[in-house]
Amino acid sequence: MLILAIDSSSQSGSVSFTRDGKLLGEFFINDKLTHSVTLMPMLESLSSILNIDIRSVDAIAITQGPGSFTGLRIGAASAKAMCFALDIPIIGVNTLDVLAYSAPLSTKVICPILDARKGQVYSAIYKIEQNEIIRASDYLAINLDELLNKLTTELKNNLPAENIYFVGDGINVYRKIIADKLGQTAIFAPDFLEYTRASVLGSIAENKYKNKEYTNADNFAPIYIRKPQAELEHNSIPQSLAKIEHNAIQQSSTELEHNSIPQSSANLEHNSIQQPLANLEYNSIQQSLTNLEYNSIQQPSANLEHVKNSELNHDN
């Protein structure tokens, strides 16, 4: 049984060939070069050195995730293309499982952590019982503080050890925070065991192949645990726009109400003042007209009486 293993799930990249439980060779690179540049040249060089015909491979193992979204896609695309061409199965292994299986069996509790950015890590909790590694939690995308609190609680209640073995590229980023929080409880993997290795992946994949835990290239897909950051940011834009529109509508409504109230008050005051004034003016006009009519009637009558009296006096 010949297994080709490919890992491109994190910053490091590696390929290996394993035959019947024996590691034939491994090519590992942890530099700034991208997986799209290094992956296939590593495979070509290793197969050439080992004099292995790629057509003799029985299955291809791939770290399925979590990890770098771009790295996972490059690895998956390469593995699937070869599986299609060679008509062989593909074996996906969780990246956290690969990191946990690289830990020494003397360790009782293992916590692999991969940097997921923005204060989060990909992680899971494992324990070793009777020389077997058993996953004791779900695969997690979790805030580091929440993970450390969870580990502290688990140590008190469920985990059979006083120490926790941390492994994975996340310890480069969060070593100090972990050490400050857990003190001597935290033990960190040495540099040469810190990263995911295709050799460990190949060993796990052999057992999976024997148990027929594999699939065809059509059905294989990476495991991300959470959505890519670009997708999260893209989805947040409509939500932000909706909030902006909602606030704009609310603001406009508030301003409209605010502006209409003084206007209404002004109109009310204006009308309440103008109406009495109008009534007053109307009444005064009416009164003047009445007086005028009265005077105009009374004045001729008075003059007529005066003339009559004058005539009588004259006759006498």
Q: Do residue 170 and residue 140 come from a single domain?
A: yes
Q: Is the pLDDT of residue 189 over 60?
A: yes
Confidence band of 232 (pLDDT split at 50, 70, 90): very low
The whole model's pTM is what? 0.72
Place of tokens 């490059």: 74
Is position 315 within any domain? no
pLDDT at 312: 38
User: How many domains is the chain built from?
Assistant: 3
Q: How far is CA 282 from the centre of its chain?
A: 74
Name the DSSP class of 161: -
Is position 316 within any domain? no
pLDDT at 281: 46
- Where does a domain end: 194, 212, 244? 194
Q: How far apart are CA 151 and CA 173, in angstroms?
A: 18
Q: Do residue 133 and residue 85 come from a single domain?
A: no
Q: Do residue 254 and residue 206 come from a single domain?
A: no
Q: How far apart are CA 298 and CA 295, in angstroms?
A: 5
Q: What is the pLDDT of residues 92-107, one digit of tens each?
A: 999 999 999 999 888 8
Q: Is the pLDDT of residue 306 over 80?
A: no
Average pLDDT along the chain:
81
Residues facing residue 25 across a β-bridge: 17
Is position 147 within any domain? yes
Q: Do residue 14 and residue 92 come from a single domain?
A: yes
CATH of the domain at 22: 3.30.420.40
Spell out the SS3 assignment of 16-84.
Answer: EEEECCEEEEEEEECCCCCHHHHHHHHHHHHHHHCCCCHHHCCEEEEEEECCCHHHHHHHHHHHHHHHH
Q: How far apart are CA 88 and CA 307, in angstroms?
A: 143
Q: How far apart are CA 82 and CA 252, in angstroms?
A: 60
Helices first, then strands: H and E counts in the chain = 7, 12
Q: Do residue 265 and residue 244 come from a single domain?
A: yes
Q: What is the pLDDT of residues 266-278, one digit of tens each?
A: 453 445 445 544 4
Confidence band of 254 (pLDDT split at 50, 70, 90): low
Q: How far apart are CA 102 and CA 96, in angstroms?
A: 10
Q: Do residue 14 and residue 126 come from a single domain?
A: no
Q: How far is CA 268 from the centre of its chain?
A: 54
Q: Do residue 180 and residue 210 come from a single domain?
A: no
Residue type, 285: I
Q: Do residue 149 and residue 117 come from a single domain?
A: yes
Radius of gyration of the chain (CA): 45
Strands 59-65 and 2-7: parallel
11-50 b/e (C-beta count within 10 Å ≥ 16 → b):
bbbbbbbbbeeebbbbbbbeeeeebeebbeebbeebbeee
Q: How far apart are CA 89 and CA 38, in angstroms?
A: 24
Residue-number span of the structural domain to which 291 is assigned:
227-310
Q: Do residue 213 and residue 88 come from a single domain?
A: yes
